[in-house]
Amino acid sequence: MCGIIAYVGNKSNAGKILFEGLHTLEYRGYDSSGIALINEKNNIKIYKKKGIVKLAKKKFLKEKISSKIGIGHTRWATHGEPNNKNSHPILSYSKNFAIVHNGIIENYSILKKILEEKGYKFRTDTDTEVLINFIEEINKKSKFDFENSLNTALRQIRGAFAIAIINKKIPNYLYGARRGSPLVVGISENNFFLASDASPIVKHTNDVIYLKDNEIVKISSENLKITNLKKEKINPEVKKIELKIEEIEKGGYDSFMLKEIMEQPKSIKRSMLGRINVNKKNLFINGINDYVKKLLNAKRIIIVGCGTSWHAGLVAEYFFEKYTRIPVEVEYGSEFRYRNPILNSDDVVFFISQSGETADTLESVKITKKKGATALGIVNNVGSSIARITDEGCYLHAGPEIGVASTKAFTSQLIILFMIGVRLSNRLNIIKQKKYVEMIYQLNNIPKLVEEILEQRNKIKNIAKIIYKKNSCLFMGRGTNFPVGLEGALKLKEISYIHAEGYPAAELKHGPIALLEKGTPVIVICTRSDEYEKTIANIEEVKARKAMVIAILDSKNKHVSEMVDYSIVVPQIKNDFSPILNIIPLQLLAYYVAKYKGLDVDKPRNLAKSVTVE
Ligand code: F6R
């Protein structure tokens, strides 16, 4: 959700550095992009444009000015439509300052009114312009001490922000600050970077500082100073990022999404590494070790997430309740945070988030902690806000997920949740030792089975060719595979723009069946489970309405294969682990449908990777 990159140092190609960074950050937003540089004459030069990064870069390349300091931004619009004027960087009224901003200023309309009364004219529709003019107004009064002005302004701002600012009156200094939205400082001798995440920094350095909420950083090529809003000096903790450059490149695939789908055998394996030990016939969830007792005695488990992460939570709800008999509730972060949730000290709340920065999930963690319940994270992005503020947690270790549609994070979330469920169940003596060991073997074998499904991608591509011109698709499944239907529908709608809904199979006759017409695609997840026969009966109902059934099966059941129009056969797996296999063909189906429609799967319209605004 908006990507920020900024640079100050002794290299005079700041423009090039910023655009390289913006290309890496483009997955965070691609409505518009731009950079602002301070040139040798101490003037601010801005190159920005509606649309993808390439377009703004084209403008810059015509001039190619040399500069040692600048800020850049790739936008996901919140206030003001995505057009050239609303693109960042945004200049203050005097044109002395330029700002890039990720987040939402909640009290912007009051501040705008005050500023208008003082004679400020606004050139954009953004809350960001209000923020920079507010800083400018305070700066006029505080005898031009910019650091103090920034501090005073930010204390009066409500909402979330990560910002980077340059000031032509003090042209060697770069300023940054955050509250709610992430901001990382990269350090490489006399060269410093500010960015929304580590991905554009890793090319230059592995040394980073994760700024905390309400911290302000002032940087020149000589010096870095961090203060908080109480004006206390902060001693920063420099951390090493473990990201490798290859991990954020496409590695020969046409898109990050396909690369990430295809690497799932590896990413799932990485999630199990050091946790499953087949030789010792055991599994260890070290990340949450200190809270295992608490989990075993929990009166209830709550799982909070958004989008795909929420779907992973739903799978876990079925799985945990079946195998641990602890009641589980699954909540959207956006609902949980606003309904004054009833939480007790013996509740354990899991927060699932790929990015670790989703605003609604992050806020839910804060509420949970305030109310004295235990907060555990299941997060992919190492060092992210949710990972840092939860009591303990398990990293997915799936590697960076850049494709906007979440794929490998989902399967890694599932494997972690399955491992936690199996471990707890064994400790509760619900799964006995023999079955426990059998389940460990099955979990360990999942990457191989995923590989077998990926090998069928041409068959799935052919099915995509049949449905890509349709307007609407339904997905249905039962039990742990109902959330797989939801996730399959989400994947299809977000990257192919085909209307898609997921339902529990039996729920169709309570309304959605009215949508079925001759040829409407209905994707049915019908792998072996306790409800298998019932799902087959639901297929009959759908076929009776002449809809087109595409079934995910796990055996060559002749009767079902003959009944449906198309089938995709996945390997058989027992014990409710099937969601992790069944989602793979649905990811591929969505991918190929979008490709047939000629769409950019990595940049679906209106979306951004990390939703850091509520
Ligand atoms: C869908 C997708 C989103 C995210 C959601 C939560 O493909 O990616 O629905 O799952 O925005 O994001 P995280 O997991 O980063 O909290």
Any atom of ligand 1 within 6 Å of the Cβ of 413: no
Cα(610) to centroid(ligand 1), Å: 7
Distance CA 312, CA 65 (A): 48
Distance CA 337, CA 365 (A): 9
Lowest mean pLDDT segment, chosen from 316-325, 450-459, 518-527, 605-614: 605-614
Distance CA 553, CA 526 (A): 5
**DSSP-derived secondary structure for 364-382:** HHHHHHHTT-EEEEEESST
The atom number, within ligand 1, closest to the CA of 410 reads 10
Ligand 1, atom 11, lies closest to the CA of 307
Which of these, 522, 498, 497, lies nearest to 508 by C-alpha position?
A: 522
Ligand 1, atom 9, lies closest to the CA of 307
What is the percentage of the chain residues whose pLDDT exceeds 90? 85
pLDDT, position 247: 79
Tokens of 50: 């509606």
pLDDT, position 587: 98
Any bridge partners for residue 105, and if so which? 159
Any atom of ligand 1 within 6 Å of the Cβ of 307: yes
Any bridge partners for residue 324, and if so which? none
Any atom of ligand 1 within 6 Å of the Cβ of 385: no
Angle between helices 579-596 and 457-467 (to 10 degrees): 50
The atom number, within ligand 1, closest to the CA of 307 reads 9
Any atom of ligand 1 within 6 Å of the Cβ of 308: yes
Q: Is the pTM of this model over 0.85?
A: yes
- Average pLDDT, integer, range 160-170: 95
Cα(406) to centroid(ligand 1), Å: 6
Which amino acids are annotated catalytic?
2, 609
Q: Is the pLDDT of residue 143 over 80?
A: no
Tokens of 404: 């906007």
The CA R_g of the chain, rounded to the nearest whole Å, is 25
Ligand 1, atom 16, lies closest to the CA of 353
Q: Predicted confidence band at 349 (pLDDT cuts at 50, 70, 90)? A: very high
Among 352, 358, 414, 601, the mutation site with the greatest number of ligand 1 atoms within 8 A of its Cβ is: 358
Any atom of ligand 1 within 6 Å of the Cβ of 5: no
Any atom of ligand 1 within 6 Å of the Cβ of 361: yes
Distance CA 30, CA 77 (A): 9
Among 406, 587, 609, the mutation site with the greatest number of ligand 1 atoms within 8 A of its Cβ is: 406
pLDDT, position 421: 97
Cβ(401)–Cβ(354) under 8 Å? yes
Cα(151) to centroid(ligand 1), Å: 33
Q: pLDDT digits over 88-108, tens only?
A: 999 999 999 999 999 989 999
CA-angle at 384, arms to 609 and 253, nearest 5° = 40
Cα–chain-centroid distance for residue 261?
16
Which of these, 448, 25, 325, lies nearest to 199 by C-alpha position?
A: 25
Question: What are the angstrom distances between the C-alpha of 422 and each of 284, 427, 428, 437?
Answer: 10, 9, 10, 10
Angle between helices 14-25 and 53-63 (to 10 degrees): 170
Q: Predicted confidence band at 70 (pLDDT cuts at 50, 70, 90)? A: very high
Which of these, 299, 461, 455, 431, lies nearest to 373 by C-alpha position?
A: 299
Which of these, 8, 68, 4, lies nearest to 189 by C-alpha position?
A: 8
DSSP 171: T
CA atoms within 13 A on the CB side of 490: 20
Cβ(211)–Cβ(197) under 8 Å? no
The atom number, within ligand 1, closest to the CA of 404 reads 8
Any atom of ligand 1 within 6 Å of the Cβ of 334: no
Cα(206) to centroid(ligand 1), Å: 26
Cβ(82)–Cβ(75) under 8 Å? yes
- Average pLDDT, integer, range 584-592: 98
Distance CA 586, CA 264 (A): 14
What is the percentage of the chain residues whose pLDDT exceeds 70? 100
Question: Which residue segments constitute the domains of the chain, with CATH numbers given?
Answer: 3-247 (3.60.20.10), 250-455 (3.40.50.10490), 456-614 (3.40.50.10490)
- Average pLDDT, integer, range 314-330: 97
Which of these, 96, 79, 176, 82, lies nearest to 130 by C-alpha position?
A: 79
Among 197, 256, 306, the mutation site with the greatest number of ligand 1 atoms within 8 A of its Cβ is: 306
Q: What are phi and psi of 595, to 5 degrees?
A: -65, -45
Which of these, 487, 474, 572, 562, lies nearest to 532 by C-alpha position?
A: 572
Any atom of ligand 1 within 6 Å of the Cβ of 264: no
* Residue linked to tokens 């330029």: 98
Any atom of ligand 1 within 6 Å of the Cβ of 354: yes
pLDDT, position 524: 97
DSSP 229: T
Cβ(72)–Cβ(33) under 8 Å? yes
- Average pLDDT, integer, range 558-585: 93
Cα(361) to centroid(ligand 1), Å: 10
Q: pLDDT digits over 540-557, tens only?
A: 999 999 999 999 999 877
Per-residue burial over 216-253, b if 16 or more Cβ lie within 10 Å, else e, is bbbbbbeebebbebeeeeeebeeeebebeeeebebeee
Question: What are the angstrom distances between the C-alpha of 53 and each of 11, 36, 75, 259?
Answer: 22, 14, 10, 22
Q: Which of 74-88, 272-286, 362-376, 552-566 has the highest mean pLDDT?
A: 362-376
The atom number, within ligand 1, closest to the CA of 306 reads 6
Q: Alpha helices, DSSP H only, in 428-554?
A: 433-454, 457-467, 482-496, 532-544
Tell me the helix, strand and coil percentages in the chain, rounded to 5.
40, 25, 35
Amino acid at 341: P
Any atom of ligand 1 within 6 Å of the Cβ of 494: yes
Q: Is the pLDDT of residue 249 over 90?
A: no
Amino acid at 228: N
Positive or negative torsion for Cα 580, 583, 585, 590? negative
Any atom of ligand 1 within 6 Å of the Cβ of 186: no
Q: Predicted confidence band at 144 (pLDDT cuts at 50, 70, 90)? A: low
Any atom of ligand 1 within 6 Å of the Cβ of 355: yes
Residues 6 or more apart in contact with residue 557 via CB below 8 angstroms: none
- Average pLDDT, integer, range 120-143: 93
Among 256, 308, 331, 381, the mutation site with the greatest number of ligand 1 atoms within 8 A of its Cβ is: 308
Rounding to the nearest 10 degrees, give the CA dihedral for residues 254, 260, 263, 264.
-150
Distance CA 375, CA 308 (A): 20
Tokens of 409: 């994070």
Cα(603) to centroid(ligand 1), Å: 14
Element (H, E) at 305: strand 300-305
Any atom of ligand 1 within 6 Å of the Cβ of 531: no
Ligand 1, atom 8, lies closest to the CA of 406
Cα(522) to centroid(ligand 1), Å: 24
Question: What are the angstrom distances between the C-alpha of 291 and each of 277, 283, 285, 420?
Answer: 21, 16, 10, 12
Any atom of ligand 1 within 6 Å of the Cβ of 384: no
Ligand 1, atom 5, lies closest to the CA of 307
Q: Is the pLDDT of residue 579 over 80?
A: yes
Tokens of 139: 């700066």
Tokens of 408: 């490998």
Question: What are the angstrom distances between the C-alpha of 234 and each of 214, 230, 231, 476?
Answer: 11, 11, 9, 53
Distance CA 245, CA 511 (A): 49
Lowest mean pLDDT segment, chosen from 42-56, 234-248, 300-314, 519-533: 234-248
Q: Look at strands 191-195 and 184-188 and give their pairing.
A: antiparallel
Distance CA 164, CA 124 (A): 18
Cα(353) to centroid(ligand 1), Å: 7
Any atom of ligand 1 within 6 Å of the Cβ of 405: yes
Angle between helices 307-324 and 408-427 (to 10 degrees): 20
Q: Is the pLDDT of residue 371 over 90?
A: yes
Tokens of 432: 């006995």
What average pLDDT does the structure give for the chain? 94
